Amino acid sequence: MSFTELLEQVGGMGRFQIINMLLLAISVLMMASHNLLQNFTAATPEHHCLVHHNAIQETQNLTYEDLIKVSIPMNEKQQREECLRFANLQWWLLNPNATKVNRTEIKTEMCTDGWTYDRSIFPNTIVTEWDLVCASRTSKQMAQSLYMAGVLLGGIVFGALSDRFGRRSLIIWCYLQMAAMSSATAFSPNFSFYCAFRFLTGMAFSGIVLNSVSLTTEWTPTNRRAVVGTFIGYSYTIGQFVLAGVAYVIRDWRWLQLTVSLPYFIFFFYSWWFAESARWLVMSRKLDQAVKQLKRVARINGKKEAGDKLNIETLRSKMKEEIAVSKSTHTAVDLVRTPTMRRISFCLCLVWFSTSFAYYGLAMDLQNFGGNIYLIQLIFAAVDLPAKLISLFTICYIGRRFTQAVAIILAGMAILANIFIPQDMQTLRTVFAVFGKGCLASSFHCVYLYTGELYPTVLRQTGMGLSNTLARIGAIVAPLVKMAGEYISFLPMVIYGVAPIVSGIAASFLPETLNVPLWETIEQVEMQSRLRKDEKKQTTALLSSTKPETEKVTS
């Protein structure tokens, strides 16, 4: 635990930590633009079949509305069919006095010639460009699921590689991969290339998120971690506002995709300034490099004299216990090898899965709320502001465990409440959905910080990778659950609501980390758990021994 003292010696929360936090936060700000981008690049505008080619020549004297009237049938809701057209033009529809024809005798056919799209709001999306409607409508969800699958794989791959090769080298690579692959997406010649590039973009997304959390957490003093974590969380929230604004101005999906991708080339160039985590270097027994990084931080923080006093022997003496018990390499098996680590991993996996599962079930379905999609995006982003501020206070003054459990349970209850609200009360339903989304944002805000504090340095990225994996599985499963609504309308909401409540109960079994220095090794985690159990036993025994005396005095 003495690394905390070393951090204070080289300046604590000094100039280096502030610059490091700001540079990482700028890149996180743009992450929302990729995570929620398909709300706009894959938006589905109103559409209907193209009319017969020969019909246009035969009906030159008709208005366009009359042509559509005799070509496209109406559905039960008196709206134009999106996937069917009349096999023959129905001229009788233009004559108000004509005898109604038996609908069963009217032949219809699929849209063999293509579709016409309402381009007033979305001039060009991947849906309109590649006709991802009707029989191909599931391709839109498949593209998002493949992106999330990339995020999932990236969490597994980059989480493990980061614990082995360091945080700095991995985040540099992920910035480059994000910049290249997301920019290439804008030039995709077909849907298959689009999906492939989005998959690789998702992988880079995970690497950036995981290493950004670790680089901020491991360079931040204990008493400032919650504030720094909140600042990073607000960066993502502001990014949602940025996405709404940029998407409103740039309506063409290719230009929008390119606009949110090019900044990552800038992030790649300045990422070489980042300092490797000295915590990781110590636990990897690279003491000479750790001393070098600590001296650099001390110099930037204006503590050069204190930095000059550091050397390998000083570092070894201050952290001899951690160095002695650390291994050069760790694997994912270590996450479940010991009792406390097993309990932490199980509970965190539930929390990450349920939070992501419910979050993307709400956030990736903005068109179903009706109204202006850009305004809804702003509302969904705005609710994060008070939600994360409230969670900051509870994290700092009540604790991580309380915040995590309450936030996710409230989210589940808000989602379940919508089951009992009539469909025609859209405003009230939206209010509950927004409240639930805010609680899920608070849960995300807390769990990123909480996970980094619960896992020791030697396994922090591997643990974050496992948690990220479960989160992405939740994100992949979320769109599939909506299909259950075709059989039982309220079933998706039941699933979305119950999952967070169950994980909130599981979160109550996690250790509290409020004002606790970061653990460096697995042994320290297990030792702290045993100490807490011993303290509880002593407290219970003390209460039991004093109870008879108290009763005697009372009598």
Q: Kindly report, as residue ranges, where domains of CATH 1.20.1250.20 are found in the chain.
A: 3-43+132-507
Concatenated DSSP letters of 497-528: HHHHHHHHHHHTTSPP-TTPPPP-SHHHHHHH
**Cα-based distances in Å from 143 to 38, 39, 139, 194, 491:** 9, 12, 6, 8, 24
Asked if the model's pLDDT at residue 494 lies above 70, the reply is yes
The alpha carbon of residue 171 and the mean position of all alpha carbons in its chain are separated, in whole angstroms, by: 18
Which stretch of 89-103, 242-256, 401-415 has the lowest confidence by average pLDDT? 89-103
Which of 59, 77, 95, 105 minimizes the C-alpha distance to 68? Answer: 59
Q: pLDDT, tens digit, for every residue of 266-286?
A: 999 998 888 888 888 877 778
pLDDT at 254: 93
Query: Residue 46 has what DSSP assignment?
Result: -
Q: pLDDT, tens digit, for every residue of 45-81?
A: 887 787 766 555 555 566 777 777 777 777 776 777 7
Q: Evaluate whether 222 touches 4 at the Cβ level (below 8 Å).
A: yes
Q: How far apart are CA 512 and CA 401, in angstroms?
A: 6
Element (H, E) at 116: strand 115-117
Average pLDDT value for residue range 479-489? 70
Neighbour count for residue 94 (Cβ, 10 Å):
13
Which of 166, 185, 46, 202 minimizes the C-alpha distance to 116? Answer: 46
Fold topology of 3-43+132-507? Growth Hormone; Chain: A; (1.20.1250)
Alpha helices in 250-319 (DSSP H): 253-259, 263-270, 278-283, 287-300, 304-308, 312-318
Task: Give 547's pLDDT tier (boundaries 50, 70, 90).
Answer: low
Q: How far apart are CA 366 and CA 376, in angstroms?
A: 7
pLDDT at 502: 93
Which of 202, 203, 184, 204 minimizes the C-alpha distance to 194? Answer: 184
**Cα-based distances in Å from 299 to 14, 15, 18, 160:** 10, 10, 14, 31
Rounded percentage of the chain residues whose pLDDT exceeds 70: 85
Q: At what angle do helices 138-165 and 167-185 cross, to 10 degrees?
A: 160
Task: Give 503's pLDDT tier (boundaries 50, 70, 90).
Answer: very high
pLDDT at 1: 44
pLDDT at 483: 66
User: What long-range pairs does 414-417 form, CB within 8 A, spacing at least 24?
Assistant: 414/439, 414/497, 415/358, 415/362, 415/493, 415/496, 415/497, 415/500, 416/493, 416/494, 416/497, 416/498, 416/501
pLDDT at 53: 61
Q: How far apart are CA 173 and CA 154, in angstroms?
A: 12
Which of 386, 369, 382, 380 minimizes the C-alpha distance to 427? Answer: 369
Q: How far apart are CA 23 and CA 85, in angstroms?
A: 54
89's tokens: 């033009």
Average pLDDT value for residue range 153-170? 83
DSSP reduced 3-state for 238: helix
Average pLDDT value for residue range 330-342? 83
Neighbour count for residue 26 (Cβ, 10 Å):
15
Q: Evaluate whether 174 touches 158 at the Cβ level (below 8 Å).
A: yes
Alpha helices in 219-252 (DSSP H): 225-249
Element (H, E) at 110: strand 108-110
Asked if the model's pLDDT at residue 456 lies above 70, the reply is yes
Average pLDDT value for residue range 210-225? 81
Which of 463, 427, 447, 429 minimizes the C-alpha distance to 500? Answer: 447
488's tokens: 């039982």
The C-alpha R_g of the chain, in whole angstroms, comes to 28
